[in-house]
Amino acid sequence: MEDLGTRDTTPVDYPDFAEAVAKAIVSDRVQRAVLICGSGVGASVAANKFAGIRAGLCHDTYSAHQGVEHDHMNVLVLGGRVIGEEMAHELVGAFVGAQTSLEERHLRRFAKIDAIEARCGLEFLSESPDRNQIQQTKER
């Protein structure tokens, strides 16, 4: 277990911790991680920007274990202002105790997600207007 969290109550920026978690997973220092922010939404959005990260915001134990089993979720995101401490413990237990499914349908879906991630942004960049044009339009 590795603790990448804050050490006190000083406000921090959740994208920094999402990046630290992503680096720990991608480098194989850890297999899974728990990421917490106020609502959990921002941390979930930030974590999912990193290749190889499959973060899920969960408020119930079914989603916490099913996300691992069916969707190969490797980051559990919790809303610290949304759920209580007891529920957080239950969610982490369900997440940590779950095993990824090797059923054909789950592997097929996982492969499709990997393929989307591999081409993510490339085809959209070629179809979208030049970034300078977008910036110039915003400045007008």
Instruction: Return the domain boundaries, the chain.
Output: 1-101, 102-140
Lowest mean pLDDT among 10-14, 29-33, 133-137: 133-137
3 state SS of 105: helix
Asked if residue 137 has pLDDT above 50, the reply is: no
Q: What is the pTM of this model?
A: 0.82
Question: Quick check: is 37 catalytic?
Answer: yes
CB of 40 closer than 8 Å to CB of 77? yes
Strand-pairing partners, residue 35, are 77
Average pLDDT over residues 37-58: 95
Q: Using one digit for the tens of pLDDT, what is the confidence trace for 50-104?
A: 999 999 999 999 999 999 999 999 999 999 999 999 999 999 999 999 999 999 9
Could you give the percent of the chain with pLDDT greater than 70? 86
CATH of domain 1-101: 3.40.1400.10
Give the per-residue pLDDT at 75. Answer: 98
Q: Is residue 58 annotated as part of the catalytic site, yes or no?
A: no
Among candidate residues 39, 75, 29, 74, the one with its CA nearest the CA of residue 59: 39
The per-residue pLDDT for 126 is 55
Indicate the range of 25-39, 84-98, 115-129 predicted with least confidence. Answer: 115-129
| Helical segments of the chain, H only | 14-26, 41-47, 61-71, 85-97, 104-119, 122-127, 131-139
Q: What does pLDDT average to over the chain?
A: 88
Which one is catalytic: 70, 72, 89, 120?
Answer: 70
Give dist(CA 52, CA 9) in Å, integer.
Answer: 30
